[in-house]
Structure 1
Amino acid sequence: MTLAPSRPAARTGSAPAAKPRSGTRDSGFYRHDLDGLRGVAIALVAVFHVWFGRVSGGVDVFLALSGFFFGGRLLRAALDTSTVLRPVPEVVRLVRRLLPALIVVLAAGAVLTILIQPETRWETFADQSLASLGYYQNWELASTASDYLRAGETVSPLQHIWSMSVQGQFYIALLAIIFAFAYLLRRPLGRHLRWVFIVVLTALTVASFVYAIIAHNTDQAVAYYNSFARAWELTLGALIGALVPYVRWPMWVRTVVATVSLLAILLCGWFIDGVNEFPGPWTLVPVGATVLFILSAANRAADPHTGGKLPLPNRLLASKPFVALGSMAYSLYLWHWPLLIFWLAYSGRDHAGFLDGAIVLLVSGVLAWLTTRYVETPLRYKAPAPRQVNEVVVPWRTRMRRPTIVLGSIVTLLGVTLTATSFTWREHVTVERASGKELSGLSARDYPGARALINNAKVPKLPMRPTVLEAKDDVPESTHAGCISDFSNVDVINCTYGNKDAQRTIALAGGSHAEHWLTALDLLGRMHDFKVVTYLKMGCPLTTEQKPLVMGDNRPYPKCREWNEKVMPKLLADKPDYVFTTSTRPWNIKPGDVMPGFYVGIWQEFLDAGIDVLAMRDTPWLVRSNNKPFFPADCLADGGDAVSCGVKRAAVLSDDNPTLAFVKRFPNLKPLDMSDAVCRPDFCRVVEGNVLMYHDSHHLSATYMRTMTNELGRQLAAATGWW
């Protein structure tokens, strides 16, 4: 993180010493205990990430401390009428503090990505490298979290940099706010300006906290990375920085407060599921505890009850081991997560064990120390210009500047190279995907796809299409056209395909697993005179479930229920000839697939309305033995083949279509089952007839769907009698 110690006092020779300010190193009351708290926080973050796969609350401690340190320093400068307000040097100082270590870690991550990760993951790393350098990584991750089709990209070696982006954005915003008020009001209000800042920071904190609760309840996964939902954690720290001069507590109260707050920080990760509960109200626990710990030793120099002494917990954290750990907190935070992710990718494991986890932490610590010692510290503090004593230049100062200039040049070159390489790779991928426009016109003889399974078509030896880089964008036209509601949208979006002037209508309704059949339905509609009208929402099937979850990561999805409450009345009112939707889902607890009970109410509503349902058995989801989804394009790019990247049929499909058991109860159900066009009798490969079947872990590619058109048409003809 960016919680580096304040710059040590420079030697001033015979110049008169400036009057020390409370809380600085020169005053004798510098908060070394808060340096130690940084050490505790980074230890919690790293340990919980490596061994427990949980959020410890340490990042929230960092955010609050960042607000206190940075905001407090800006407030002191703004309130000191003898200080000239200069925002540009402040920005330069931030750049010198933040970028060097970040660039080194990103450069190392780029090398490891090329060595360890398949090329299908390089684009994500390039995107997130640029986002990290531009300090908008949190928004990049928020966009990914809100995109159902990119859900597999969320765990990346750079995911942890979201919090740094939030801090960087906060620093610039707070700098602008405080300096703007100071320029306008410092002269007329003088020291009373402090209360203006207190009022403004209080208003910002309350507004951000209220927004965080609303955003958390709306879409927690997106809110987790939202700068506005996180801002209150930093503004609260800055607000405390403005209030500390007024705190007067007896020593016994300080000791109790320090003890309780430190315990809350240490135990937060054990009792609160931060991944799902933050940035909601429970975030008050780590942030509030941090604030109380700050206040437990605030202004003690002026408090006659303390004699300038720290409470026992504060003295413990002010000891050398904790302060030393806190001094390299930023670098340790940068290194531990990518090393963990790269190790898991290399080893193929889901989580680290005790031994390999300890090695990851040890290597992270060594690299953090080296980065702090030889990158952060030399470049953070500007070397003084050569000083003359009796007209003689002091040579050691000149020598000190030269290594710093060289180091700065190397880091700058790394940053430029990383940026250029990221843009170059993204351009390469864009060019390759542009050639994917020809996928719709591939020769049926050269690329039989599903016809190799259904019709035993011959398969010539040709390169697979789409390629592993083309697969990501090989999606239905409705996705490109925005004809499917995203996670945050509850509106019913209708688009028309097939023969748009036809009298007969099939309503394509449900989630993206219904949507990917549109490619074939569109072709069939134009051939057989019917139109296809979409009623689609990402990750949301037609369901009566009151508390739906996002399939795959099981996070709450309240907007799916809201959308269903809108779409079902509209479907019943529109009264299409048929509703085409999925009727099964994979089991989460055992092999095979099932028709969930919360579909039954939907079938009943359609039965009561006299609407027939084309009930399509869901596509097999590609999961490993640990029940984790995987992308076949990644597997193929990593050296796998059609078989090694596939799954056993029995693992993803039951012996019989579960929908068949409900046909007598619901005669309006017309079961469709394309499993034999996707899987062989005992195995589901990922490439058939020279065509890559999936564009992610559970959606069929548009190219493969085109090869299934004839078989789908045969089953639809039998179900509808239209041709």
Structure 2
Amino acid sequence: MLTLAPPRTAPCTDSGTSAPFAMGTRESGFYRHDLDGLRGVAIALVAVFHIWFGRVSGGVDVFLALSGFFFGGRLLRNALLPGASLAPGTEIIRLVRRLLPALVVVLAASAVLTILVQPETRRETFADESLASLGYYQNWELANTASNYLRAGEAVSPLQHIWSMSVQGQFYIAFLILILGWAFLFRKLLGRHLRTSLIVLLTALTIASFVYAIIAHNADQATAYYNSFARGWELLLGALVGAHVPHVKWPMWLRTVVAFIALAAILSCGAFINGVEEFPGPWALVPVGATMLFILSAANRMADPHVTSGRMPLPNRVLATKPFVFLGAMAYSLYLWHWPLLIFWLAYTGETRADLLTGAVILLVSGVLAWLTTKSVEDPLRYRAPAGKPAVTVPLRVRLRRPTIVLGSIVTLLGVALTATSFTWREHMTVQRANGKELSGLSSRDYPGARALVNQARVPKLPMRPTVLEAADDLPQSTIDKCISNFADPSLRKCSYGSVAATRTIALAGGSHAEHWITALDLLGQLKGFRVVTYLKMGCPLLAERLPRIPGSGEPYPQCFDWARAAMREIVADRPDYVFTTVTRPKDTQPGDVMPEEYMPIWQTFADNGLKVLGMRDTPWLVRDGEPFFPRDCLADGGGATTCGIDRSVVLGDVNPASDLPKRFPLMGLLDMSDALCRDEYCRAVEGNVLIYRDSHHLSATYVRSMTPELGRRIGAVTGWWP
């Protein structure tokens, strides 16, 4: 994930002496070793905050800024030189040699650990993200996950951290095309004004990206976090500073003050700013701006290479010493290793976070693996002597380990094997989905599902359906038909189910917890002669809260309030016979469920307009140790129907918290299907040979189908439409 830089000159001579300060290429001896040290500090912050605090440190933003400075600044300066050679192929080869070998090694190791440690249900996600990581679009894969309510509650991926590498890889290619293309097209036309035109262009792009980041952050922060366009300004700003920094001169006292302030801001950023919620918005200016200031604090040395390192600000001299430069040298591999090791350890132990000792061991193992990867994979495949020159511009230790055909072949074969395995597993899952299409036709005698609880139906000994691999795709038809708006879609989508020509209508309205009843309502509509019209948005129940948050994740969801108002206006105008929606939610930090006060204005609006309501008690949300719990993962890991369930008292109160609503709103009838989901004391993962949940809180369509008779009986009792 870290910054791209040209080949190195000789390393620092001793731990107490600052390495020569320089700028540009290491071949020329003109390089900033203090920024290598800063990179090492940043990766240490990333790892420490990930392992012990579960927070974002701002180190990734430092990396992005340094990447723009090293790669973008160098490329921009070279493009502006009269008669400079424009060789994009050379730059791309440099990128491949720098970035891919260590990535392939870590991905291959993670694939093995996924098979050994994680349940089978996680393999498809890993395969998708492996391909996304190798293809450098992992950030968009995660953005899709963040905006996809069907996957939003999944366990954290061991490859999640590679999103930032994808952003940088996309920036490298886009910046390369932009700069070389602009220089090629306009060098002769603009002549000495080429530099000015490029600076103006990049400044405009930086401002546009920053403005877009603010807009995207306010609209959907979870998705914007991974958005390349919203992150572009961080790298572009580094490139702009890289182009200007040789021309900056300021007094020593000011540079020292700036260096201390900048380093303090970088070190403290994670403690004072919750980057998970605030980035890439305006608060990202803190780590990025501090990085730019730290770069500029030693600008005098860049402008005048004869200035001695001893006259550099103290923070710069400290970070240019051997320990920090050594840490910076293996920062890329350390970043790659620390996150998967943490995630696999948590998956293996079932813990939610690492304690001090365990975290230290994870960090130590990550460091050892990073050093081995840097020494044995990165350096040999990255460095080589320039054509026609003796190999004196690279360290002796590197010259003794030049890239070999054997090592390159091994890394290539690992990449091919990983790609082939990922595609093979995805094909296997396609076959599983094809088999899953038969779920709608399962025999009610063999797979009684909810009838085993409600009617004490006999349960034969047969394999559970849907299987753990089928469960995630056992979706309601409205999801398949795209009749539910996703997080980023503000539109109101209306679809009809049941008996579409019937005169009686039930409006199914709210979020996905109202939606998963469509399977039973559709069947009942066809059998009993009523139409079901959907008004649905992911994660958005009908509520009057102006600043709602996504249920389960707590992410801000301002779009939900606007959508709910639009849905209410439409429902009132359509005047259905009944509105079917959820009337309760789980408590945030305590056992049981609650009827939120934010729902009351909704019921009042329906009452004021004479609309009848079928209020469904919400489905239990399965949570363990404060994290979503997936029964399918537990079952795939060898658990049973009971051990992969949860105590009823944890997820449901003794009394329906909405039980008093009909007294205040006589047009409301309550529906409570809890006894069709849970036994008296326990909610199991499987009933009647049917898996109840497809994730941690959405019912499988197959189980909802098995509840159709009981739901019909209860709706009939409330509406009087049938006995």
Tell me the residue number matched to 1:454: 454
Are residue 658 (structure 1) and residue 657 (structure 2) matched?
A: yes
Q: Say if 2:81 is the partner of 1:76.
A: no
Task: Check the 8 A contact 2:128/2:422 in 1, yes or no.
Answer: yes
CA contact (8 A) 2:383 2:403 kept: no
CA distance in structure 2 between the aligned counterparts of 1:264 and 1:316, rounded to whole angstroms: 17
- Secondary structure in 1 matching 2:660: helix
Q: 1:580 to 1:560 in 2, by over 3 A?
A: same
Deviations 1:316-362 (A, max 9, x none): 10011000000111000000000010011111111110000000000
**Who is 2:634 aligned against?**
635
Q: Deviations over 1:419-467 (max 9, x none)?
A: 0000000100110111111100000110000111111110000000000
1:137 matched to which residue of 2? Answer: 138
> Offset of 1:500 from its aligned partner?
0.3
SS in 2 for 1:663: helix
Q: Return the alpha-carbon distance in structure 2 between the equivalents of residues 581 and 185 of structure 1.
A: 61
Kindly indicate whether the alpha-carbon contact (under 8 Å) linking 1:208 and 1:228 is maintained by their aligned counterparts in 2.
Answer: yes
Work out whether 1:704 is the aligned partner of 2:703: yes
Aligned partner of 2:372 among 370, 373, 381: 370
* Structure 1 residues 503 and 90: CA distance shift in structure 2, 3 A: same
Choose which of 328, 332, 337 in structure 2 pairs with 1:326: 328
Kindly provide the CA deviation profile for residues 469-525 of structure 1, in whole angstroms up to 9, marking residues without a partner as x. 000010100000000111112221110000000000000000100000000000000
**Is the 8 Å Cα contact of residues 249 and 305 (structure 1) preserved in structure 2?**
no
Superposed CA deviations along residues 252-299 of structure 1, whole A, max 9, x for unmatched, are: 111111111110000111110100000000000000000011111114
Identity %: 72
Q: Corresponding residue for 1:520?
A: 520
Contact 1:209 1:232 in 2 (8 A): yes
Instruction: Give secondary structure in 2 for the equivalent of 1:151.
Output: coil
Deviation at 1:242, TM superposition (A): 1.1
Residue equivalent to 2:508: 508
Structure 2: distance between partners of 1:325 and 1:682: 54
CA contact (8 A) 2:496 2:531 kept: yes
Aligned to 2:41: 40
Change (3 A) 1:683 1:381: same
CA gap 1:266/1:22 in 2 versus in 1, 3 angstroms: closer
- Deviation string, structure 1 residues 683-712 (Cα, Å, up to 9, x no partner): 110100000011111111110111100000
1:377, distance to aligned residue in structure 2 (A): 0.5
Per the TM alignment, residue 188 of structure 1 is displaced from its structure 2 partner at its CA by 4.4
Map residues 184-203 of structure 1 onto 2, 5 A cutoff: 184-203=185-204
Letter in 1 for 2:519: T
Can you give the 5+ residue segments of structure 1 that lack an aligned partner in the other structure?
11-19, 389-395
Q: What is the match of residue 216 of structure 1?
A: 217
Aligned to 1:280: 281
RMSD across aligned C-alpha pairs, in angstroms?
2.1
Question: Helix, strand or coil for the counterpart of 1:193?
Answer: helix
What is the CA-CA distance between 1:245 and the residue it aligns to?
Answer: 2.3
For 1:284, the aligned partner's letter is L
Alpha-carbon shift at residue 402 of structure 1 (Å)? 8.0
TM-score with structure 2 length normalisation?
Answer: 0.95
Instruction: Out of 536-545 and 411-420, give the one that drifted further.
Output: 536-545
Q: Tell me the SS of whatever aligns to 2:153.
A: helix
Amino acid at match of 2:185: L
Residue 109 of structure 1 corresponds to 110
SS in 2 for 1:658: coil
1: CA distance, partners of 2:356 / 2:337: 19
> What's the counterpart of residue 341 of structure 1?
343
1:164 equivalent in alignment to 2:165:
yes
Give, in whole Å, the separation in 2 of the partners of 1:486 and 1:445.
37
Change (3 A) 1:8 1:656: closer
Q: Paired residues, what number?
A: 707
**Offset of 1:384 from its aligned partner?**
6.5
Counting only pairs closer than 5 Å after superposition, residues 485-634 of structure 1 correspond to structure 2 as 485-624=485-624, 626-634=625-633
SS of 1:150 mapped into structure 2: coil
Give 2:716's aligned residue: 717
Q: Partner of 1:714: helix, strand, or coil?
A: helix
The worse-fitting range, judged by mean Cα deviation, of 296-305 and 678-687 is 296-305
Contact 1:147/1:487, CA 8 A, preserved across alignment: yes
What SS class does the counterpart of residue 679 from structure 2 fall into?
Answer: coil
| 8 Å CA contact 2:9, 2:29 repeated in 1 | no
Q: Which amino acid aligns with 2:139?
A: N
Cα offset for 1:72? Answer: 1.6
Deviation at 1:81, TM superposition (A): 2.6
Q: In 1, distance between residues paired with 2:348 and 2:217? A: 34
Inter-CA distance 550–94: structure 2 relative to 1 (3 Å threshold): same
**8 Å CA contact 1:452, 1:688 repeated in 2:** yes
SS across alignment from 2:507? strand
> Does the 8 Å contact 1:250/1:305 carry over to 2?
no
TM-score, reference length from structure 1:
0.95
Alpha-carbon distance, 1:8 to partner:
3.0
| SS state at 1:478 partner | helix
**Inter-CA distance 301–344: structure 2 relative to 1 (3 Å threshold):** closer
Matched to 1:668, the amino acid is: L
Equivalent position of 2:393 in the other structure: none
Q: Verify the 8 A CA contact 1:39 1:327 in the aligned structure 2.
A: yes
Distance in 1 between residues matched to 2:539 and 2:620, nearest whole Å: 15
The residue number in structure 1 matching 2:685 is 686
Stretches of structure 2 lacking an aligned partner (at least 5 in a row): 11-20, 391-395
Instruction: Map 1:27-66 to 2 at 5 A.
Output: 28-66=29-67
Aligned twin of 1:236: 237
Cα shift at 1:215:
0.2
SS at match of 2:532: strand
Amino acid at match of 1:564: A
| Aligned counterpart, 1:294 | 295
Give how far 1:658 is off: 1.4
